[in-house]
Amino acid sequence: MNPASSTVDASAVLAAARRLRREANAAEAGVLVQAVEWCRIHRVEEPDLAATWLDSRGYDTGIPIAGPGAPLVSEFAVAEFAAALGISAASGRNLVGQALELRHRLPKTWARVQDGSLASWRARRIAEQTITISLEAAAWVDAQVAPFAHTTGPAQVQRTVESAIARFMPDHAAEQRDRAAEQRYFTIDADQVSFAGTARVHGELDLVDALDLEDAVRAGAAQLVQLGCPDPLDVRRAAAVGMLARGEQALAFEGDETPMSRVRSREIVLYVHLSEDTLRSGAADAPVWLEDAGGRLLTAGQIAEWCGRPDTNTVTVKPVIDLHQTRAVDGYQVPEPIAEHVRLRDRTCIFPWCNRPARSCDLDHIDPYVNMADGGAPGQTSTENLAPQCRLHHRMKTHAAWTYTTVEPGVFLWHSPHGHTWLRDASGTTDLTRLPVDPPGDPPERRTS
């Protein structure tokens, strides 16, 4: 290959990539503009109608998605905007809230995004940290950060926000210090399990507690070496945490008669979904779906290993439900067998792009229930007329102009108030809306077929 030709080709590739990145940045800035315009059209005055942040369990915090000084916008409108973009309602709240924050509270940073000198993702990262502070404090942060936002990292932005809180919100700063203990948490992401059967753990502890935990984990990892464990340090530390959780001691301490002197037995309740092929093959690497692992795929061998451990003394296997069988009752209330059938069939909220687990959702009557005393038909509460919906999307279906129909059990066709259409089934969401959707009033030469 000619070196000169290779250099030219490489330069052309880099030039094309840089051009595409500029175009992508411009497109993302345009999406923020449209988000702000959508909010202008759907502005509300009543806080009860406004989009607010939800906590990790889906409960309303009552905190608007943008800070003081930004307009309130309809909760349902934000969800519809998210659906039109093919993102979840939570991602939509993030995008729209940050767009409002930039446009109304961080105008200098917003201007840089719109003139192309600042990538929108950098601006959104700044907006994420200013949403909870006062308008005056946000304006100060904007003035400090905007000129250098293209080089500013998250830590520097956080320090600037903390300085603004101390300067403009002293009472809030004092409250933050008083509530420092409430910021502690410890989370085990059991709904985010890997194919190998592992889960992430993270938290924020008091320093003393953290140091004690570190000492215990370090000691457990060292004891495993003395027992002949060949695993790397990080693997042994992870195993030591499990030993602590079960009250195990890898080696006898002074006064103990035997190793593993304090052991808490494990009980395993299996709600495993596996195909007939998996049952017949008996292969250890055959995939299974474990519901308590957030619907993630594991292997039959991993499940067998958990059940066969010496510290497991009880294994409970839930009965199999035939998801092809229709179940129905005449009353409005949903009996548990029918509810379980629907949750297992659909697994999540069946609104487009939503992935909230079905066990935390309402069960919606697809065709509204009519009391039999008022002429309603028998068997309306059935597996074919129920679907799980999270609280937000259930309210949108009930109180807004969203509609959906059942193509077949587990397959749903959704229609938005503005004419968008999605197909939702076990594989996810398919956007059936014809693209591009031109804004009303565009000149004919801009329209595409």
Report the distance separating Cα 297 and Cα 292, nearest Å.
Answer: 11
Q: Which amino acid is present at 22?
A: R
> Chain-centre distance of CA 2, in angstroms?
50
Task: Quote the Cα angle for 123-128-133, to 5°.
Answer: 115
Using the Cα atoms of residue 57, residue 65, residue 123 and residue 95 in order, give the sign of their dihedral. positive
For residue 195, what pLDDT is reported? 67
Token readout for 262 is 């304090």
Task: Quote the Cα angle for 428-433-434, to 5°.
Answer: 135
**Residue-wise DSSP of 366-432:** SSPP--GGGTPPTT-EETTSEEEE-HHHHHHHHHSS-EEEEEETTEEEEE-TTS-EEEEETTEEEE-
* CA torsion, ordered 409, 415, 420, 423, to nearest 10 deg: 0
> b/e map of 165-197 (b: 16 or more CB within 10 Å)?
beebbeeeeeeeeeeeeeeeeeeeeeeebeeeb
For residue 110, what pLDDT is reported? 97
Q: Where does 55-104 show beta strands of DSSP type E?
A: 60-64, 72-73
Q: Hey, is 299 helix, strand or coil?
A: strand
Report the distance separating Cα 77 and Cα 355, nearest Å.
Answer: 19
Among all chains, which residue has been given the structure tokens 């910021």? 183
For residue 292, what pLDDT is reported? 52
101 near 157, Cβ under 8 Å?
no
Q: Hey, is 117 helix, strand or coil?
A: coil
For residue 351, what pLDDT is reported? 95
Among all chains, which residue has been given the structure tokens 């210090």? 177
Q: Is the peptide bond before 436 cis (omega within 30 degrees of 0)?
A: yes
Report the distance separating Cα 122 and Cα 148, nearest Å.
Answer: 11
**pTM > 0.75: yes or no:** no
DSSP 8-state class, residue 81: H
Quick one: 107 exposed, middle or buried, by C-beta within 10 A (0-12, 13-18, 19+)? middle
Start-to-end Cα distance in the chain: 43
Among all chains, which residue has been given the structure tokens 């009965």? 319
274 near 283, Cβ under 8 Å?
no
> Chain-centre distance of CA 13, in angstroms?
35
Q: Which amino acid is present at 97?
A: G
Report the distance separating Cα 324 and Cα 251, nearest Å.
Answer: 52
For residue 42, what pLDDT is reported? 97
DSSP 8-state class, residue 248: -
pLDDT tens, position by position, for the chain (449 residues)?
Answer: 565 556 668 888 988 998 999 999 999 999 999 999 999 999 999 999 999 998 776 778 889 999 999 999 999 999 999 999 999 999 999 999 999 999 999 999 999 999 999 999 999 999 999 998 999 999 999 999 999 898 777 878 888 888 888 888 888 766 766 665 667 788 888 777 776 678 888 888 865 577 778 888 888 888 888 888 888 888 889 988 888 887 776 554 444 444 444 445 556 666 666 666 666 676 766 666 665 544 455 667 777 777 777 767 777 766 667 778 899 999 999 999 899 999 989 989 999 999 888 988 999 999 999 998 888 899 999 999 999 999 999 999 999 989 999 999 999 999 999 989 999 998 889 999 876 555 555 544 434 43
Token readout for 388 is 């799980």
For residue 449, what pLDDT is reported? 36
Cβ count within 10 A of residue 150: 12
Q: What separation in angstroms does the CA of 156 have from each of 109, 118, 175, 319?
A: 15, 17, 22, 55
